[in-house]
């Protein structure tokens, strides 16, 4: 079974935030089939740029952190974008829509 790592869960894990439950932390620590959307990294970079997010490390270190956790980054392909032409509008946030596809 594959698991998509939520943006907030990843941030909470990195920052040691108590909002991340023990089961989620254990899953991140022990799973080998974790994935993270490139859209989430894009979203984080935008939030850092506009001052809505501060990290305790350089943004450029995030790929190393993901690699250390054995998390694979999911790319966005043209085929992914074709999917959105007919996707119902359940959520207006484009990053949520891309990350969850």
pLDDT at residue 97, as a whole number: 60
DSSP string, 8-63: HHHHHHHHT-TTS-HHHHHHHHH-S-EEEEHHHHHHHHHHHHTTS---SS-GGGHH
Give the pair of three-digit tokens for residue 68.
């250390």
Q: Alpha-carbon distance 21 to 1, whole Å? A: 20
* Domain containing residue 77: 3-99
Q: What is the mean pLDDT of residues 55-84?
A: 89
All residues at 6 or more sequence positions from 17 whose CB lies less than 8 Å from its CB, including other chains = 11
Name the domain count of the chain: 1
Instruction: Read off the pLDDT of residues 79-95 as tens digits, 9 standing for 90 and up.
Output: 877 877 777 776 666 66
Residue 95 belongs to domain with CATH number: 3.40.50.1010
> pLDDT tens digits for 18-63?
999 999 999 899 888 899 999 899 989 999 999 999 998 999 999 9
Query: What was the pLDDT predicted at 57?
Result: 92
């Amino acid at each position: 079974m594959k698991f998509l790592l939520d943006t907030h869960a990843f941030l909470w894990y990195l920052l040691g935030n108590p909002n991340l439950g023990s089961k989620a932390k254990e899953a991140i620590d022990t799973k080998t089939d974790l994935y993270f959307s490139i859209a989430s990294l894009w979203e984080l970079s935008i939030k850092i740029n506009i001052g809505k997010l501060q990290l305790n490390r350089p943004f450029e270190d995030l790929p190393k952190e993901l690699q250390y956790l054995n998390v694979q980054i999911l790319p966005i392909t043209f085929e992914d974008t074709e999917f959105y032409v007919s996707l119902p509008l359940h959520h207006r946030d484009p990053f949520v829509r891309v990350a969850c596809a």
